[in-house]
Chains A and B, each alone.
Chain A
C-alpha cells in the first residue's frame, strides 16, 4: 500500500492524532473512562496502522523488536516495583497510601505509575502479537 499517495499522507497525519489520543485516554483515566489498557491498545493501533500502510520493515525500524520485548517486561516490572515501593515505605504490597504524606495524593501517585506500567505492557504485547503473526512467512510466498 506504499504506492497510494492519499493513504500515505493521511496516515502520517493520523499517526500524531492517534498517539495524542492515546495519551489523552491515559491521563484522563483519573477523571473519566480511560486508563492504561485502552491507551495501550490505541498507541499500539497507531503503530500497527503505520505498519499496514508502510510495511512491516518500516514499522520495525521505528519500534524495533527488542524494544517491544523490553516494553512487555518493563511495564510489568514498573507495576510490580510500585508495589515494592509501598512495601519499602512501610505499607503492604501495592499500598498507595504511603507513597505520599497525604494518603489521597498517595493514591493518585500510585495509580499514575500503575497505569503507566499497564500502558507500556499492553502496547508492547499488542505490538508483539502483531509482529509475530505478521512476520511469519505467508504460504503464498513459500510456494513461489
Chain B
C-alpha cells in the first residue's frame, strides 16, 4: 500500500467528489469531506517521511513507465507542499460545517463539499505530478472548482469576483500551457524530469526563452504576483469565509511551488537566474508587491479585503526569498509558504466568526468586537502580530531568514525594506485593533449572540496556536524548508 501513496493522495478526494453528488445530503457530504481531508493529511505526512533525507518517490500511472506515461514524482519539496495543503484542509473542513450552514443555501451544501473535494484534489495533483500537461489539467480542476466556490458567496459582488477570477485564471492557465507546449515542441517530452535532462541539448534557445516567459507570466497570474494580483482582493473578500481561508492558505502557495519547480528543476538555476535578469525582475516586483499592497491595505474599508491585500504583500515576501537565488533565500521563501498559510488561514477563519454577525465586514461593523467576541478578536491580534513579524510568531521566522538572506548578498537596503514593510503591516493591523478595542460596541450588535460557536473557534485557534508554536520551535518547519531548498538548488529532479 505504501507504494500507492502518491496516487491515493490525489484520487481519494477525486473519488469523494462524485460520491458526494450521489449522496445528495449535506451532512453526509461533510462527513465524507472530513474523512477525505484527514486521510489526505495522513498520506501527505507519510509521503514526507518517505522522502525525508533526499529521497524520491516515483509513481507510474497505469504502469506505463516514465517518461512515456504520466509520472507522479515526489521529493521533499512537493511533499512539504502537500503537507501544507492537506494540513490546512484538515483544519478548515471541521470549521466549514457551521460557517457553510450560515453562508450557503441548504440545497447547495452537498455540491459545495463536492467542489471543495475537487479543489483539494486539484491542488494536491499540481503538487505531486511530474508531468507538464497533467499539471495544467490539475490547475484547471482546482481553478474551476474555486470559481464555483467563490461565486457561492452571499454578496452579489461574489459573482463578479468569480467572473473576473475566471477570466484572469484562464488566461494564466493558457499562458502556462502555451509555455509547456513550446517546451514539448523543443524537447519532445512532457515529463518534467525528462524535459530538464533534454533541455541542454536544445540548439535553438529562443523558443525555450519564450516558454520561460509564458510560464512565468501564467503562473504569476495564478499566484497573484504584483501587478497581476487584481483578481485576488475581490475574490477573497466576497467568497464564503471558509473558502477564503482555504484558498488564501493553499491556492497561491501551490502556484509558487509550480514556479519554483520550473525555475529550479526544469529550466535550471543557471538558465533562469545567471543568464537572465529574472532575479532582479522578481526582486523589484516582490518589493513593489510588499509596499503597494500594504499601503492599499491600510486604506481599505472592508476588513476582509484588507487582509486580502495583505496576502498580496505576503506573497511578495515569498517571491522575494526566491529572487535571492540562495539557499537561505529559498529557505525563507519556502518556510514563509508554510508560515503564511498558517497565519492567513487562521485570520480568515476568525474573520468568518465575525461574518456570522456582521455580514458586510466593514470596519464600522467591528466596533467593540474586542468586548463582544474577545477570543476571536484576540486571535486576530495574534495573527496580525505574525503578519507584522513579531518575535515569537511564525512571521518572525520568515522575516528573519529574509533579512539574513539579504545581508548575505550584501544588500542591506533590501533588509531595511523588509523591516519597513513590516511597519506597514503594523499600520493595517492597528486599524483592526483600533476598531475592535477602542470603540464602544454598537448597541444593535451588542444585543446579538456573543462569541463564535466552538466548532469554528477551535479550528481557528488551533491554527493561531500553531502560529505561536512554530514561531518558537522552528525545527520542523525550517528543517523541511531547508531540505526542500537544498533539493531545489541541486537542480536535478
Contact call A93/B22, Cβ cutoff below 8 A: no
Contact call B15/A77, Cβ cutoff below 8 A: yes
Tell me whether chain B's interface is mostly helix, strand or loop, or mixed. helix
Contact call B18/A73, Cβ cutoff below 8 A: yes
Please give, as numbers and ranges, the residues of chain B lying within 8 Å of A93 by CB-CB distance. Answer: 4, 7, 11, 61-62
Q: Is A29 an interface residue (CB 8 A)?
A: no
Q: Smallest distance from the beta carbon of B63 to chain A beta carbons, Å?
A: 4
Please give, as numbers and ranges, the residues of chain B lying within 8 Å of A70 by CB-CB distance. Answer: 21-22
Interface residues on A, range: 20 to 34
Q: Is B14 an interface residue (CB 8 A)?
A: yes
Contact call B63/A95, Cβ cutoff below 8 A: yes
Q: Which residue of A lies closest to B70 (CB)?
A: A94
- Contact pattern, B 275-303, Cβ under 8 Å of A = 1, otherwise 0: 00000000000000000000000000000
- Contact pattern, B 104-123, Cβ under 8 Å of A = 1, otherwise 0: 00000000000000000000
Q: Is A91 an interface residue (CB 8 A)?
A: yes
Q: Smallest distance from the beta carbon of A64 to chain B beta carbons, Å?
A: 13
Q: Is B59 an interface residue (CB 8 A)?
A: yes
Contact call A92/B63, Cβ cutoff below 8 A: yes
Q: Is B462 an interface residue (CB 8 A)?
A: no
Please give, as numbers and ranges, the residues of chain A lying within 8 Å of B28 by CB-CB distance. Answer: none
- Contact pattern, B 6-38, Cβ under 8 Å of A = 1, otherwise 0: 010001001101110110100000000000000
- In the complex, which residues 63-112 of chain B have their Cβ closer than 8 Å to any Cβ of chain A? 63
Please give, as numbers and ranges, the residues of chain A lying within 8 Å of B14 by CB-CB distance. Answer: 80
Contact call A92/B18, Cβ cutoff below 8 A: no
CA distance A98 to B63 in the complex (A): 10
CA distance A132 to B18 in the complex (A): 19
- Contact pattern, B 128-170, Cβ under 8 Å of A = 1, otherwise 0: 0000000000000000000000000000000000000000000
CA distance A76 to B7 in the complex (A): 16
Contact call A77/B4, Cβ cutoff below 8 A: no
CA distance A76 to B11 in the complex (A): 12
CA distance A83 to B59 in the complex (A): 14
**Contacts A92-B4, A93-B7, A93-B11 hold; do A77 and B59 have CB atoms under 8 A apart?**
no
Contact call A77/B11, Cβ cutoff below 8 A: no
Q: Smallest distance from the beta carbon of B7 to chain A beta carbons, Å?
A: 4
Contact call A74/B63, Cβ cutoff below 8 A: no
Contact call A86/B22, Cβ cutoff below 8 A: no
CA distance A81 to B22 in the complex (A): 15
CA distance A87 to B7 in the complex (A): 10
Q: Which residue of B lies closest to A94 (CB)?
A: B62
Checking B7, B15, B17, B18 against A74 with a beta-carbon cut-off of 8 angstroms, the contacting residue is B18
Contact call B21/A94, Cβ cutoff below 8 A: no
Q: Which residue of B lies closest to A72 (CB)?
A: B21
21 contacts between A and B (CB under 8 A): A69-B21, A72-B18, A72-B21, A73-B18, A73-B19, A73-B21, A77-B15, A77-B18, A80-B11, A80-B15, A86-B62, A87-B4, A87-B7, A91-B63, A92-B4, A92-B7, A92-B62, A93-B62, A95-B63, A96-B62, A97-B63
Given contacts A80-B14, A93-B4, A93-B11, 5 further A-B contacts (CB under 8 A): A69-B21, A73-B18, A77-B19, A83-B11, A94-B61
